[in-house]
Amino acid sequence: MKVTLIDSPVANIASIARALRAAGAELLITADPDEIASSRKLVLPGVGSFAAAMHWLTEWRIDAAMRAALLGDAFLLGICVGHQLLFDRSSEMGWRAGLQLVPGDVRSLEGTLPVPQIGWNRVHGTGPLFDGVPSATPFYFVNSYAAREVTAESATADYNGPFTAAVQRGRTFGVQFHPEKSSAAGLRVLRNFVACR
Amino acid sequence: MQVIPSLDLLHGRVVRLTHGDFASARTYGEPDEVLAALQVPPGSRLHVVDLEGSRSGRPVETEIVRRLARRDLVVQVGGGIRSVDDARRWLDCGVERLVVGTVAANDPELLATLVSTFGAERIVPAVDVRDGTVRVDGWERDADASLQEVFARIELLGIPEALVTDIGSDGVLRGPSFALYRHLRSATRVSLIASGGVSSSADLVSLARLGNVSACVIGRALLERRVDLAEAGARLAVSQAIPERVIPCLDVRDGRVVKGVSFQGIRDAGDPVECAVRYEEEGADELVLLDISATDRATTTTLETVRRVADSIFIPLTVGGGVRSREDFRSLLRAGADRVAINTAALRRPELIRECAQEFGVQAVVLSCDARGGFATVRGGKEVTGVDAVQWCLRAEELGAGEILLTSVDRDGTGLGFDIELLRAVTGVVKIGVIASGGAGRREHFRDAIECGGARAVLAASLFHDRLLSVGEVKQFLAAEGIPVR
């Protein structure tokens, strides 16, 4: 199954590329808007801060290319910051607009427990991404921000209160955790995405 | 598990005695002030000890207790309850539960009368234990009955909860008596209110995981601000959701996994990629790769090894050894490390921690602290500095380290168990996670490092290399002991 991994100048995408391949993806790694626009399946990796990532997406016209692909019924998976970019806006470094593909806000995860959250946390998921993944399976997280209680939520976890661990709106998916660092469970989620049709 | 703040009252004030000596009483102020300062949430249970009452054998602080009970608190009171009349006086003050000590152990008839008069759920027998023996009369002498007999009696009367204090650990901050509570888990169905030895919220999490501890009374740790009620609540809320990690360590030199005792006497133990893949299959939650040659002479083979290992696993990889600068840090991240551990260079120039945290993110920075005799060491444990290990860990947290890899050089390779005292000293003061390292020899050691040491992860090298234990076996054991694992 062909998957386009959106290349990023900031992020180390080697591990997500390797994990997607291990999950059965025939991978095209590119930042070319035309190639992205004509893709059937897209992966948007996490890239540094929310603001830097949005800047990069618009600057390189990847934003518009992704929308074009989605209009053509493409599937999209956002990972970590890539997942956060799907929402309306984020409070990281002042409110910044996101891609607005999924309704909801991304806010600081701050609370009594230290941020960033670093490590495994149990995820309670439903829907096609979590097919074959039992509820309460741990996934690996590294995040200081997260969406909470959004309508498109397909998985939750708890850190300073419940937060959105994954979303699904139509063919657009997002996971706050790092599937590429989550061993067999992470590969299963990626395999489920790669197999989506 | 409920957390019950405890107030010892003397002459209308909250005090703390050292070794039960009234002359040594340290005063903390009026009960209302103390409750406000501790931010005790409404609806909480509150444990009150009437010290003068326990000395004189009759209720003394009744007016204060009456006032406390009028607030939105579920008050239990203890100290000198020796008769049905004493009990009634307290209940008339609005107290919900009565804590009876000597009576529970030495006067079964009165205990039965109290239960039949006021109801089993209103009586909390207090059982003081030292070395497995029940003690009475202000811990002065052995009780007439054995621990087994006392609990059989409590169970027979239908009393749901008993307060258990291990006198050996009380007040000395050496940790709660997990072994005693675990023993009682198989010996009785009575739920336990743990008391004594709690000095951090990690202790509360560990008590909650035992399963038979329904509540914990804390006094000193709260008054000394070692435990914050809000933080404890947050930790308890995720105590099952966040699994503790088991981390195999690959000590690598010149591209090969090697092993040694106390960083000396090295021998070959295999190919890093083969080891890494096997460990992930066995259920390792993360890998640590330590380049043990690099501090002496920097090697480019390290980067190649990191690249090969990172390319073969789907779990986080932490790499350490010989990181001198931000450039070294960046190279390791580029080679595929998720996190980088720094030791020698950070001790020489602590600002390096802050710079790396700013540039690469807090999550990428692990402080590696090799402690020997309580001091931080550099160059793979060879050189002791004058820096106190605990203070250094605290400083590193302030500077932006995301986690601490705490190795006891004294224990490393000995198989004698992790250095619990060192772990408690660090986990009791830092908020970030601590990885326990050095000394693992048996499955129980891993449990103790997490349960009593407060570690959020446990690391071992030779034990796993030599296949004396597998990662899977350790995780299975931890799960059976009530510690959540992936």
CA angle B277, B281, B283 (to 5 degrees): 120
List the single residue in A with minimal CA-CA distance to B280: A183
Percent of chain B with pLDDT over 70: 95
Residue owning tokens 């059989």: B152
Side chain identity at residue A84, one-letter code: Q
CA–CA distance, A71 with B282 (Å, rounded to integer): 44
Task: List residues of chain B with CB under 8 Å from any CB of chain A.
Answer: 230-231, 233-235, 237-238, 240-243, 245, 280, 285, 310-311, 314-316, 333-334, 336, 338, 361-363, 402-403, 431-433, 456, 486
Q: Do B333 and A119 touch (CB under 8 A)?
A: no
Q: Do A119 and B433 touch (CB under 8 A)?
A: yes
Beta-bridge mates of residue A106 = A90, A147
List the single residue in B with minimal CA-CA distance to A117: B363
Contacts of A136 in chain B (CB under 8 A): 241
Contacts of B280 in chain A (CB under 8 A): 183
List the single residue in B with minimal CA-CA distance to A159: B238
Rounded to a whole number of angstroms, the distance from the CA of A160 to the nearest CA of chain B is: 7
Q: Do A113 and B235 touch (CB under 8 A)?
A: yes
- Band (B267; pLDDT cuts 50, 70, 90): low
Residue B172 predicted with pLDDT over 70: no
Instruction: Give the active site residue among B86, B251, B291, B448.
Output: B251
A195 or B168: whose pLDDT is higher? A195
CA–CA distance, B440 with B449 (Å, rounded to integer): 9
CA–CA distance, B152 with B51 (Å, rounded to integer): 28
Region B219-240: mean pLDDT is: 92
Q: Is B328 a catalytic residue?
A: no
Residue segments in chain A with a per-residue pLDDT below the cut of 50: none
Interface-testing mutation among A50, A81, A142, A191, with chain B (most B C-beta atoms within 10 A): A142
DSSP state at residue A197: -
Q: Is B370 a catalytic residue?
A: yes
Lookup: tokens for B154: 């409590």
Residue B54 is predicted with a pLDDT of 87
Residue B319 is predicted with a pLDDT of 96
Check: CB of residue B159 under 8 Å from CB of residue B119: no
Lookup: tokens for B172: 């000395």
Residue B51 is predicted with a pLDDT of 93
- Band (B264; pLDDT cuts 50, 70, 90): low
Rounded to a whole number of angstroms, the distance from the CA of A188 to the nearest CA of chain B is: 12
User: Which of B237, B245, B403 is closest, CB to CB, to A158?
Assistant: B237
Contacts of A138 in chain B (CB under 8 A): 243, 486
CA–CA distance, B17 with B52 (Å, rounded to integer): 12
Q: Do B285 and A120 touch (CB under 8 A)?
A: yes
CA–CA distance, A23 with A44 (Å, rounded to integer): 16
Rounded to a whole number of angstroms, the distance from the CA of A14 to the nearest CA of chain B is: 8
Q: Do B234 and A160 touch (CB under 8 A)?
A: yes
User: Which of A19, A138, A157 is closest, CB to CB, to B314?
Assistant: A19
Rounded to a whole number of angstroms, the distance from the CA of A43 to the nearest CA of chain B is: 18
Lowest mean pLDDT among B5-9, B132-136, B468-472: B132-136
Q: Do B234 and A157 touch (CB under 8 A)?
A: no
CA–CA distance, B395 with A3 (Å, rounded to integer): 45
Q: Do A122 and B231 touch (CB under 8 A)?
A: no
- Band (B294; pLDDT cuts 50, 70, 90): low
Residue B447 predicted with pLDDT over 50: yes
- Band (B171; pLDDT cuts 50, 70, 90): very low
- How many beta-carbon pairs below 8 A join chains A and B? 76
Region B125-141: mean pLDDT is: 85
Residue owning tokens 């990172």: B310
Nearest residue to A101 via CA among A170, A41, A54, A33 = A170
User: Which of B238, B280, B336 is closest, CB to CB, to A159?
Assistant: B238
Check: CB of residue B251 under 8 Å from CB of residue B234: no
Rounded to a whole number of angstroms, the distance from the CA of B361 to the nearest CA of chain A is: 9
Nearest residue to B482 via CA among B239, B281, B248, B260 = B239
List pLDDT tens digits, range B96-121. 999 998 888 889 999 999 999 999 99
Residue owning tokens 């002459």: B11
List pLDDT tens digits, range A88-146. 999 998 999 999 999 999 999 999 898 899 999 999 999 999 999 999 999 999 999 99
Greatest mean pLDDT among B17-26, B295-304, B460-469: B460-469
Residue B295 is predicted with a pLDDT of 55
Residue A11 is predicted with a pLDDT of 64
Residue B451 predicted with pLDDT over 60: yes
Rounded to a whole number of angstroms, the distance from the CA of B430 to the nearest CA of chain A is: 10
